[in-house]
Structure 1
Amino acid sequence: MPVLRDSSTSRSRSTRAAAHWLPTGTAAFARILALTGAARTSIRCEIYIWGNDPVAHRFRAAFARAAARGVRVHVLIDGVGSSSLPAGYWQELENAGGTVRVFNPISLRHFSIRDHRKIFIVDDAIAITGGFNIAAEYDGDGVTSGWRDLGLELTDPAAIRSLVTAFDEMFAAHELRPWLLRRIPRRNNPPRHRTDEVGPVLCSGPHLVRNEFSRQLLRLLKSARHVRIASAYFAPSFRLRRALRSVARRGGTVELLLAGPTDVPLAQLAARSLYGALLKAGIRIWEYQPQVLHTKLALVDDTLFVGSANLDARSLAINYELTVHLRDAALAAAAAADFDRDLKHSRAITYSDWKKTRTWLTRLRGSWARFLITKVDPWLARRQMRGLS
């Protein structure tokens, strides 16, 4: 969900990073294109899905123009997420001097390992991240058109340095060569004793020591009073589900905004199979109705998490992900206000209503979907990662 109505004028200085919100896919796209047009030295773009559609073509042309005037342009796309692109798609950009690499090109050997991150950095000075990809379905307000999503712009030098390092390491390791991947854990994960000051940029992935996003979220949930989460796909670990239930049972509020219309029916079956225990613990659940919900937002008291990671097994255990977390009371209040506005477009799920839908066939399908998503998929990814150790 967006947290500021006018991202061009609503800015906030956090103790961790300077940031302001891009409240819709359309706003994020407009800002990226404007920054691309003004770029002087470098553009880095890492994206899971680059569509084969007019919206994505605009970005390709803008990047080519930047490269033609001498800007160093590096683009990293995922081999599965961007598999719709035809041969020769990037010729204009490459002829202008840009470089495009494909992370883990499609192969049966390491098919499960994907780069789901969304990063745009210009001139090593301004960065944008969020849940959106570069494709037509993300261009809209999330109510009347386009999927529901948001972006976050960062200008804090320390955060930018972390994002540049994260991009450059993945750009170098795009072919999943073991000797390159071994460099990533030492840089992207802080020492274990640093539980509070980990910085605003949290990188996670199957080759890293641990999932820093999950660890920081669990840490905050131990003392949380108010938790609001929007997640396109929802199948969190048992520890996260238990932590959420604990917040509600000790008198805190926990509100989940999940997908109504969805692009992944299997994920929705798995998510709905978990509703019962959460609702019985006092957690409130809504499903967003106007468009597909693609937002990834967690608001824990006055700390926000925004980025590419969903609360599901693939984001928490398989994909390479990047999340930014900021502790800022003003931004948290704005996020809560916008969360409320999105709830007006959503359907509340009660335990009695949920129970009525749980026929034996629905229970069977939900259990099978959850087994595939939370057990089989991570197991397959672990087996494929062994060959890269």
Structure 2
Amino acid sequence: MDKFYHFLTLVSIGLYWFLVAGVTLRIVLKRRAVSVSLAWLMIIYIVPVVGVGCYFLFGELNLGRKRAERAREMFGPFQQWFRQLNHCQAHIPDALGGHISKIDDLCNNRMSIPALSGNSLSLQNSTDEILRSIIQDIEKAEHSISMVFYIWHPGGLADSVASALIQASKRGVKVKLLLDSAGSPRFFRSSWYQMMKNSGIEVVQALEVSPWRIFLRRLDLRQHRKIIVIDDAIAYTGSMNLVDPAYFKQNSDVGQWIDIMVRITGPTVNVLSAIHSWDWEVETGQRHLPKLPECQIDPSEQQHPIQVVPSGPGMPENLILQVLALAMHQANHSVKITTPYFVPSNDLLETIKLTAQRGVAVDIIIPHKNDSLMVKWASRAFYGDLLSAGVKIHEFHGGLLHTKSVVIDDHFCLVGTVNMDMRSLWLNFEVTLAVEDQAFTQEMLWLQQQYIDQSYPVNKEQWKSRPIRHRFLERAFFLFNPLL
């Protein structure tokens, strides 16, 4: 019997090391950032068995066979729809400023999405204002409402939005609601889910979490977009989930979540509607491409061009990361960044450092308290390099700053759903807007200054004298950056 157990032990060890060798070879042969590959190798060797399991679950971009095939088949028809926008009056390449012109070239060449003019934008930074504005627009809806959110958390004004949707459906408005399964579990367990379905609303779980799918699809691949489209005439997007902050994560000791949304009218609404249609088809197989926008614009008025930049499986890789890098490389005077989760790839880190080292004033505003302990410490692992490069870091003390924004040279900005981490830039379904609008950007800049006024700057000399245990935690959690 002892010999049998000895033999079984040797076989188990042999199989495990054969598995480790196979995974190591797969990591090395995969074409990705060296820092990501090294981080995975560290995890596998430092955390035996668990590390290999983590790689199988989270190590590769795996959408699932059926969804992946569907996404590949969809790309051609959607690209053809986007390409038609180049021929409408709202695409005016000669009138685009330097920043957005190059981004228009990039997005057009990679996904056929052009920057469109003739829009109006409204920046909303009060969650109460945002939810009440959404309710008012839903109450006026006549034909259709399409929504996609990562989190829908019942309670407070979020319930008023749900009631408005139910009433809209009952009066004949077609309502489609796509919610991430992992982000919205409380919604799917609540009475609102069944009430919406009973009223005729199509409610779909995106990327459903299930034990049966654990090895068939990467579990932390999430639907992270936030989009509302009403009658193909009004759209919202930004950082805010469908939650009332007064009723959301009250026990997490981070304060209320601070968010923004952008309300849009004009041709860009139809582009956001097409992005929602993409997500709907990936999940359901049903195609509902919107009508092309009416592009009648007055050339004598300000054009407010917007470039919609989506990302996610099936779409061109690293598109939002490329837009970020392109925008920062064009900066002449200043770059201001707000992000709740800051765990950049090595490429993005070097872009930020290079921008500061060539004399551009770079400010990064990050929440002091974070709902993710791992992200909190991993973020701080980058502080030393950034401070040495001349970047100013501000830790926000007014709650969990969830706004995702970048303002370049005070007249061009990026706003959307994208965090400065590898999950957002490489993995999730995301969307950001590149906006060339002086008045809107000044509003965004004013808001960022309000955030800075509620922050404490990270002092370089004080940072160097931080406790040894803090340094250890930073480096330890930094190793897990592929999972963050």
Letter in 1 for 2:446: A
Corresponding position of 1:381: none
Residue 15 and residue 168 in structure 1: after superposition, are their counterparts in 2 closer, same or farther (change >3 A)?
Answer: closer
> Looking at CA atoms only, which structure, 1 or 2, has the larger radius of gyration?
2
C-alpha distance in structure 1 between counterparts of 2:372 and 2:406, whole Å: 21
Shift of 1:94: 1.7
C-alpha distance in structure 1 between counterparts of 2:324 and 2:424, whole Å: 14
Letter in 1 for 2:364: L
Letter in 2 for 1:148: I
Letter in 1 for 2:347: R
C-alpha distance in structure 1 between counterparts of 2:118 and 2:357, whole Å: 31
Q: Residues 57-103 of structure 1: CA distance to partner in whole angstroms, max 9, x if unpaired?
A: 22211110000000000000001000123165322222221100000
Shift of 1:199: 5.5
- The match for 1:355 among 432, 444, 464 is 464
Q: Calculate percent identity across the aligned residue pairs.
A: 27
Corresponding position of 1:269: 377
Q: Find out whether 1:91 has 2:200 as its counterpart.
A: no
Corresponding position of 1:34: 136
C-alpha distance in structure 2 between counterparts of 1:324 and 1:222, whole Å: 18
Asked if the contact 2:170–2:199 (Cα under 8 Å) also holds between the matched residues in 1, the reply is yes
Letter in 2 for 1:146: Q
Q: Residues 277-303 of structure 1: CA distance to partner in whole angstroms, max 9, x if unpaired?
A: 000111001011021111101111222
Paired residues for 1:164-183 under 5 Å: 164-174=273-283
Asked if the contact 1:25–1:139 (Cα under 8 Å) also holds between the matched residues in 2, the reply is no
C-alpha distance in structure 1 between counterparts of 2:386 and 2:197, whole Å: 50
Corresponding position of 1:214: 321
Shift of 1:139: 7.8
Residue 124 and residue 139 in structure 1: after superposition, are their counterparts in 2 closer, same or farther (change >3 A)?
Answer: farther
Corresponding position of 1:48: 150
Q: Find out whether 1:364 has 2:472 as its counterpart.
A: yes
Residue 262 and residue 21 in structure 1: after superposition, are their counterparts in 2 closer, same or farther (change >3 A)?
Answer: same
Residue 61 and residue 202 in structure 1: after superposition, are their counterparts in 2 closer, same or farther (change >3 A)?
Answer: same
C-alpha distance in structure 2 between counterparts of 1:262 and 1:72, whole Å: 38
C-alpha distance in structure 1 between counterparts of 2:272 and 2:200, whole Å: 23
Compute the TM-score of the two structures, normalised by the length of structure 1: 0.82
Unaligned runs of 5+ in 2: 1-115, 249-254, 290-304
Asked if the contact 1:115–1:320 (Cα under 8 Å) also holds between the matched residues in 2, the reply is yes
Corresponding position of 2:340: 232
Compute the TM-score of the two structures, normalised by the length of structure 2: 0.67
Specify the SS of the correspondent of 2:185.
Answer: coil
- The match for 2:207 among 104, 123, 128 is 104
- The match for 2:353 among 245, 248, 251 is 245
Specify the SS of the correspondent of 2:400.
Answer: coil
Shift of 1:236: 1.4
**Greater mean alpha carbon deviation, residues 315-324 or residues 337-346:** 337-346
Specify the SS of the correspondent of 2:444.
Answer: helix
Unaligned runs of 5+ in 1: 1-13, 185-197, 378-389
Corresponding position of 2:424: 315
Residue 274 and residue 134 in structure 1: after superposition, are their counterparts in 2 closer, same or farther (change >3 A)?
Answer: same
Shift of 1:51: 0.7
C-alpha distance in structure 1 between counterparts of 2:157 and 2:442, whole Å: 33
Residue 16 and residue 233 in structure 1: after superposition, are their counterparts in 2 closer, same or farther (change >3 A)?
Answer: farther
Corresponding position of 2:450: 341
C-alpha distance in structure 2 between counterparts of 1:199 and 1:330, whole Å: 14
Specify the SS of the correspondent of 2:262.
Answer: strand
Letter in 2 for 1:27: E
Q: Find out whether 1:327 has 2:327 as its counterpart.
A: no
C-alpha distance in structure 1 between counterparts of 2:119 and 2:324, whole Å: 18
Shift of 1:16: 6.7
Corresponding position of 1:382: none
Corresponding position of 1:188: none
Residue 105 and residue 284 in structure 1: after superposition, are their counterparts in 2 closer, same or farther (change >3 A)?
Answer: same
Q: Residues 151-180 of structure 1: CA distance to partner in whole angstroms, max 9, x if unpaired?
A: 1011121x11211111011112126x8xx9
Q: Which has the higher helix share?
A: 2
Shift of 1:53: 2.4
Letter in 2 for 1:214: L
Specify the SS of the correspondent of 1:202.
Answer: strand
Asked if the contact 2:123–2:443 (Cα under 8 Å) also holds between the matched residues in 1, the reply is no
Asked if the contact 2:155–2:247 (Cα under 8 Å) also holds between the matched residues in 1, the reply is no
C-alpha distance in structure 2 between counterparts of 1:81 and 1:315, whole Å: 14
